[in-house]
Amino acid sequence: MVFHGPSLKVNPNFHIHSILERSKNLSAESYPEAKIVRSFEELIQQPEVDLVIINTPDVFHYAMCKQALEAGKHVVVEKPFTHEVEQADELIALAKSKKLVLSVYQNRRWDGDFLTVKKILSSGMIGRLVEFESHFDRYRNYVQEGTWKEEGDKRHGVLFNLGSHMVDQVLQLFGLPQSVTAHLAILRDGGEVNDYYEIRLQYGNFAAILKSSYLVREPGPRYSLYGTHGTFHKWGIDPQEEMLKAGRLPDEDGWGDEPQEDWGIINTEWNGLNYKGTIETLAGNYTAFYENLYEVLVNGKELAVKPEESRDVIHILNCCLQSHEENRTVFL
C-alpha cells in the first residue's frame, strides 16, 4: 500500500472499502475505515466493491486479475502486468467482453525526471536524437533474505521488476523498437535471480539503452540524451517513492518537487543560441494515475495506462530473455 493507498486516501472520489491481509492487521492504523479481509475470494465477492487493486508478488497477477474480472470488478494490477504475453492478451479480452476497466500501475510515467525528459525531447532542444540512455541502479551488495524478489525463475529479478518501468517509459516516448538486444547477469555472490541487465532497443537512426545493476555505489546520470545539437544529463531519482515511504501524503504543498541540486544539465544550441545550464525538473505526480482512473470509470474519459501498452512491455521483456538466452538480436 506504499504507492496506492496514499493516492486513494487524498482523492475524495475513492473510498477504500476492504484490504486483504492474510493474518495481520497492519493497515488498520493508516486506513481505519477499511474492512480487513482474510481471503481474495472474500474481497472480490463483496457487492460494494467496484475496483480491485492487485498489489501482490507478480507470479499471482494473472490468476488474481482473472478472478477479479470474472467477479465483475474493474482491476488495477501492479507491474509487471503478467509474465507471458498470452496471459495479458487473455485478460485484455476478458475485460473487454465484460465491459470492465483493466489497467496496470505504471506510476513512473509520472516521475518528474521522466516528464522533464519527455518535454525536452518534444521541444527539440537537443536536435535530432541519436542516443537515449536510462539507468535504474542501486547498491545492494548482498542478497536480501525473506523477499520473493530474490528468488524464483528467469522472470523474477531486476528485469521484470525495474525493467517494467524502464521499458514502459521508452515505449511511451518512441513506440515499439525494430529490434531488441539484451544481456542479463547475476553479479552478487549467492544470487539466484538476475540483478543486472543491459538492453538495447534499436529505432532506425537512434537507439535506446537501458541499464540496471544492484552493484552501483556511485551512480552516474539517470538519463542521458544525445542529439545533433546538444546533450542532456539528469542525475538523481524522483523523490516521490521516498516521500511515500516516510509516511507523507501526496496532497501536501510542494509534492513531487525535486531539490535544485538534482536538476539536469543541458549543453545545446537552440534557436541559434548556445546554452549550457540547468533545467528545472518538473514536479512528479503519482496521484494522476487515480485521477485519470476516476474520470474513466465515471465520465468515460480515455484511459491513461491502457492494458495493451503494458502487454507490449511484457512482449519486450520476453524478447530480452530470448535475446540473452540465444545470444542474438531479436527482431520484432
8 and 138 housed in the same domain: no
* CATH code for the domain of 17: 3.40.50.720
| pLDDT mean for each 10 residues of the chain (332 residues) | 93 96 89 94 97 96 98 98 98 98 98 98 97 97 86 86 98 98 96 96 97 97 98 97 96 96 96 94 98 98 98 98 98 98
CATH number, domain containing residue 153: 3.30.360.10
> What's residue 63's pLDDT?
98
CA distance 181 to 170: 15
Report the distance separating Cα 36 and Cα 15, nearest Å.
Answer: 14
Domain assignment of residue 170, yes or no: yes
- Assess whether 219 and 319 both reside in one domain: yes
Cis peptide leading into residue 80 (ω within 30°): yes
Q: Are residues 121 and 253 in the same domain?
A: yes
Domain shared by 296 and 269, yes or no: no
User: What are φ and ψ of residue 305, in 5° steps?
Assistant: -115, 95
Quote the pLDDT of residue 185. Answer: 97
Q: What's the one-letter identity of residue 220?
A: G
Residues 51 and 94 in one domain: yes
Phi-psi region of 72 (alpha: psi -120 to 50; beta: other; left: phi over 0): left
- Return the pLDDT at 99: 98
pLDDT of residue 270: 84
**Domains identified in the chain, total number:** 2
Q: Are 116 and 262 members of one domain?
A: yes
Question: Cα torsion for 265, 218, 168, 194, to the nearest 10°?
Answer: 160
Separation CA 160–CA 110 (nearest Å): 19
Give the pLDDT confidence score for residue 144 in this predicted structure.
Answer: 87
Identify whether 305 is part of a domain: no
Q: Do 235 and 92 reside in the same domain of the chain?
A: no
Whether 259 contacts 253, CB under 8 Å:
no
Q: 120 and 93 in one domain?
A: no
Instruction: Give yes or no: residues 113 and 260 share one domain.
Output: yes
Residue where the block lists cell 491513461: 304
Q: Are residues 21 and 166 in the same domain?
A: no
Q: How high is the pLDDT of residue 1? A: 73
On whether both 24 and 92 belong to a single domain, the answer is: yes
What residue numbers bound the domain in which 78 lies? 4-106+289-300
Inter-residue contact 237 to 249 (CB < 8 Å):
no
